[in-house]
Structure 1
Amino acid sequence: MTAQASEGDDWKGRYLDTLHTLEERDERLATSDELIRLSLARLALAAEKAYPSLEKPLASLRQEVKSAPEGKLPLGRLLNQLKDVVNALRTIETRSEDIEPEKGSPAAAEPNLDDRAALARRFLAVLLEKLALTHDLEERKSDLLETLGLPSEGEVTTVLIDRAASLVNDMRKQLEHEKDDLASFLKQLTDTLSELDRDVQADIELLHDDTGTRLALHDAVDSQMRGLEEDISAVDDVNQLKGIISTRLDRLRLHMNGLRASEARLVERMENTTAAMRGRIVRLEKETESLRENLQASRERMLVDALTGVPNRLALDERVKLEWARFKRHKQPLTLAVWDIDHFKKINDSFGHKAGDKALRIVATKLAQQVRETDFVGRYGGEEFVMLFINTSVQDALGKADAIREAIAGAPFRYGDKPLTITLSCGLSQLRAKDSLEQLFERADQAMYAAKEAGRNRCVAD
């Protein structure tokens, strides 16, 4: 009985652990929700600048995103609105091919169609670079980014917006599917735990019944013994006394046999119940192990950059919040570094996007090899990486960053038979007592741009 109750308590503990996992998944889902909101809002602003006549439908799109409850974006309605915007863009593009604005007219002063399309494609590329996706979606994103880098006649801007919207929508569907799977397992787990609890209660009732049977036997034995004492006192004949004793013993044997039969039935029922419980537990253990593996794989897909293998922006957001909270408690120094590959666009233009992807993987590997286990490095998006120096002042971090930068600049890189020169610029900032996370990032980012303006291939601390 104790072992069975312990098993029940153990599974209740696992149930609570699984609930905690679901809460973590909700947090990651909320982060992705925020990224989708930001991407759609910025995409709408970019398109509105390129196509002023679309101000009304784009404003409606932004309002839909803004008014949606947290974690509950109406993706179906948003996708329909995006399709309406895309259809309007197609109409504008078709008309623009046939209409030549007169000199000096307001229309002639506006950017032409090619300029607008190029602007929209640039904004679209920036937004895509910021999205952290799973491996299969990352491949689609990479293909789309490569298409965005081609001449505009390769594919019209509206079709590219369609593809980007589909990518964001599929990312959201993946997250919802994983959440539904976990919720389904939790319901199954709850049902199984309820069955185990009923089995335990049934065993307890059986034990109560057994206790009642034993008490009844005790009363019966006590009654027979009192009756025997009374008979002995009242009878003088030995033979008659033997007969009385024999009758009393027969009655006791009947009670004992009844008890043994009752206990045998009890043991059989408890064995059957225990076997059923163990069967459920074995099945639940297999399902839990499968879920644990799926959750681990899902967590890796969610928090690891598919292209470079280092942590992605979602993982960075989690770690930064953790270190920020730790700084608030312990007041130990924390320095953030923003890295950017110099002339990365030139690598893509000269050697192609595959060479650019290889450069990103090389830089990510080199950065990860250079940091301590307690530190952190992740891909922020595009050609940017972020590093956290734990319990390190900005001056000490600057020295370490310079050593890392020199190691990467001095490493020989090749793409095919062509040599590749890769250098990085870095900006560093130390977290201050009254800082928000946004302020810390802003200072490090500005320091990185100061390094660019000072000639690149250098580290600058604010």
Structure 2
Amino acid sequence: MATSTPYSAPLDNEKFLYKLVIQLLIFCQGSHRLLEPHLLAIGAKLRSGANSQELLSELQAVSKTLVHISKQAKQDVNVGEGDGAALQNNYLLERLDELLNDAEVPLRFQHQTSLLKQRVRANLSEDSYKKVIDSAITLLLNIKDYSVSEQKGIDVFLGDLSDRLDELGQDVEIAGQANREMIDNRENLNTEIHRQVGSLKDSTQAAEELDILKNQTAEYLDRLLEQLLEHKQIEDERQRDAQEKIELMTKKLQELETETETLRVKLKIEHDKALSDSLTGLPNRLAYNNRAEMELKRWKRYRAPLSLIIWDIDFFKRINDTYGHKSGDKTLALVAQLLLNNCRETDFVARYGGEEFVMLMPNTHAFQALEMAENTRKMIQSCGFNSNGENVNLTISCGISDFNESDLHDDVFVRADQALYQSKQNGRNRCTVFAA
């Protein structure tokens, strides 16, 4: 026992070290290409029975390699974070561009909005990016303040209109009162005439001498004539007052009609703008929602066929990135016009947002809609355009679904969207009817 004691601890430590090295090999195997040569060398030395001193150099090499890998990983993380921030910025700019395209911008802000769109679509530094976001927020706040101001102006006008109508109501009441007084005055005159005539009749019957009768008759006639003249003067004065009031009310009504017509025209213009896409001139999503609600009610009542088509321009982002956003805008306007030209008068086509369009087709089954959609798709495929001397090819895909028993609009929209997804998955430039 005494002779083995000096050597037992080193031998145990050696075995423990070997176990750790073997576990290290197992753990690190395949983890990184830079470690592989060192791990293979350590494995070979272990198999040849090398001692710990002989393994030390390879273990130190593994340690240095791990430090190097760790530093590289940190650098990759930093780069990844930078790329992530850039991707996030690009995403926000794309969303901002969509917002500016879809927003209904009042006329006085359209030039400012156009300039901001150009800045959004340019290559931006970090500082420029922040300035663009600030400018966009300022613009949207200004539009909001302007809209609130316009609404206040309408509220003031309506309040003023209400006050004027109250005044007119009072004038009408006064005119009515004057008319009632004229009627009362006429009745009083008639009563007095009857009384005078009755008195004259009684006097005539009671009179014994002709001269007395003549005098009484003349006296009654004088009083009657005086009352008639007084009545005429009162009637003339009231007639003048009534005429003045009528002329005043007529003038007020004409002013109200003019101002109301001006407001009606202004509200109609604003209403039309609120339902129209400023870039393509087509109805926008709000207009589509209104029309879809109306068509759904009609479909539920009459059960005539009704189909929905969702269109999506193929590789639209590539067109924007390759040829610029002006070409992207030109693409949207061209496709919108082609869709409009190739639908029937009873159909309804709108820009839903981005590069998506929607079409409602009354009295049309899904496969009838497919035939029309195919003709439109082929027409768009043949109608590219030129951008700075380069041909821009256009294709479009769509999904189609019709309304079935107990459907809500969202049910049909989801099915048409799924059919559109199938068109994209199957190579784009195609039309697909939803198949359950």
**TM-score (ref. length: structure 1):** 0.72
1:419 partnered with 2:419:
no
Q: CA deviation at 1:114?
A: 3.6
Q: CA deviation at 1:399?
A: 1.0
Quote the residue 1:398 is aligned against.
Answer: 370
Q: Is the 8 A contact 1:338 1:426 kept in 2?
A: yes
Which of 154, 158, 179 is the matching residue for 2:151? 179
Q: Which structure 1 segments of 5+ residues have no match?
A: 1-100
Taking the aligned partners of 1:432 and 1:172, their CA distance within structure 2 comes to 41
- Cα 1:332–1:455 shift into 2, 3 Å: same
Q: C-alpha offsets along residues 61-108 of structure 1, whole Å, 9 cap, x if unaligned?
A: xxxxxxxxxxxxxxxxxxxxxxxxxxxxxxxxxxxxxxxx97667994
Taking the aligned partners of 2:294 and 2:335, their CA distance within structure 1 comes to 25
Which structure 2 residues correspond to residues 162-311 of structure 1 after superposition, within 5 A?
A: 162-311=134-283
Quote the residue 2:98 is aligned against.
Answer: 129
Q: Is the 8 A contact 1:132 1:314 kept in 2?
A: no
Quote the residue 1:82 is aligned against.
Answer: none
- Cα 1:450–1:149 shift into 2, 3 Å: farther
Q: Is the 8 A contact 1:133 1:171 kept in 2?
A: no
Quote the residue 1:450 is aligned against.
Answer: 422
Q: C-alpha offsets along residues 208-250 of structure 1, whole Å, 9 cap, x if unaligned?
A: 1111111111121111112112211221211211111111111
Equivalent residue of 1:271, what SS? helix
- Cα 1:158–1:362 shift into 2, 3 Å: same
- Cα 1:433–1:102 shift into 2, 3 Å: farther
Taking the aligned partners of 2:226 and 2:255, their CA distance within structure 1 comes to 44
Q: Is the 8 A contact 1:128 1:141 kept in 2?
A: no
Q: Is the 8 A contact 1:118 1:152 kept in 2?
A: no
Deviates more, 1:109-118 or 1:208-217: 109-118
Quote the residue 1:322 is aligned against.
Answer: 294
Q: C-alpha offsets along residues 292-326 of structure 1, whole Å, 9 cap, x if unaligned?
A: 22112212221111111111122122212222222
Taking the aligned partners of 1:252 and 1:149, their CA distance within structure 2 comes to 94
- Cα 1:148–1:128 shift into 2, 3 Å: closer
Q: CA deviation at 1:262?
A: 1.2
Taking the aligned partners of 1:415 and 1:107, their CA distance within structure 2 comes to 39
Quote the residue 2:312 is aligned against.
Answer: 340
Q: Is the 8 A contact 2:306 2:360 kept in 1?
A: yes
Taking the aligned partners of 1:444 and 1:127, their CA distance within structure 2 comes to 27
Quote the residue 1:378 is aligned against.
Answer: 350
Taking the aligned partners of 2:342 and 2:167, their CA distance within structure 1 comes to 53
Quote the residue 2:84 is aligned against.
Answer: 115
One-letter code of the match for 1:129? Answer: E
Alignment length, in residue pairs?
A: 362
Quote the residue 1:367 is aligned against.
Answer: 339
Equivalent residue of 2:404, what SS? coil
Higher relative contact order, chain-length normalized (CA < 8 Å, sep 6+):
1
Taking the aligned partners of 2:71 and 2:149, their CA distance within structure 1 comes to 53
Taking the aligned partners of 1:424 and 1:448, their CA distance within structure 2 comes to 10
One-letter code of the match for 1:335? Answer: S
Q: Is the 8 A contact 1:133 1:302 kept in 2?
A: yes
Q: Is the 8 A contact 2:275 2:286 kept in 1?
A: yes
- Cα 1:305–1:277 shift into 2, 3 Å: same
Deviates more, 1:116-125 or 1:180-189: 116-125
Q: CA deviation at 1:158?
A: 3.7
Root mean square deviation of aligned Cα: 2.5
Taking the aligned partners of 2:76 and 2:382, their CA distance within structure 1 comes to 52
Taking the aligned partners of 1:213 and 1:409, their CA distance within structure 2 comes to 86
Taking the aligned partners of 2:106 and 2:414, their CA distance within structure 1 comes to 30
Q: Is the 8 A contact 1:426 1:451 kept in 2?
A: yes
- Cα 1:315–1:116 shift into 2, 3 Å: same
Q: CA deviation at 1:283?
A: 1.0
Equivalent residue of 1:425, what SS? strand
Taking the aligned partners of 2:157 and 2:127, their CA distance within structure 1 comes to 44
Q: Is the 8 A contact 2:97 2:120 kept in 1?
A: no
Equivalent residue of 1:377, what SS? strand
- Cα 1:279–1:333 shift into 2, 3 Å: same
- Cα 1:320–1:178 shift into 2, 3 Å: farther
One-letter code of the match for 1:410? Answer: S
Q: Which structure 2 segments of 5+ residues have no match?
A: 1-69
Deviates more, 1:176-185 or 1:191-200: 176-185
Equivalent residue of 2:376, what SS? helix
One-letter code of the match for 1:195? Answer: E
**TM-score (ref. length: structure 2):** 0.76
Q: CA deviation at 1:161?
A: 3.3
Q: Is the 8 A contact 2:366 2:402 kept in 1?
A: yes
Q: C-alpha offsets along residues 101-136 of structure 1, whole Å, 9 cap, x if unaligned?
A: 976679948951342242243145236425332265
Equivalent residue of 1:112, what SS? helix
- Cα 1:116–1:443 shift into 2, 3 Å: farther
Q: Is the 8 A contact 1:117 1:152 kept in 2?
A: no
Q: C-alpha offsets along residues 7-49 of structure 1, whole Å, 9 cap, x if unaligned?
A: xxxxxxxxxxxxxxxxxxxxxxxxxxxxxxxxxxxxxxxxxxx
Taking the aligned partners of 1:217 and 1:171, their CA distance within structure 2 comes to 68
- Cα 1:195–1:159 shift into 2, 3 Å: same
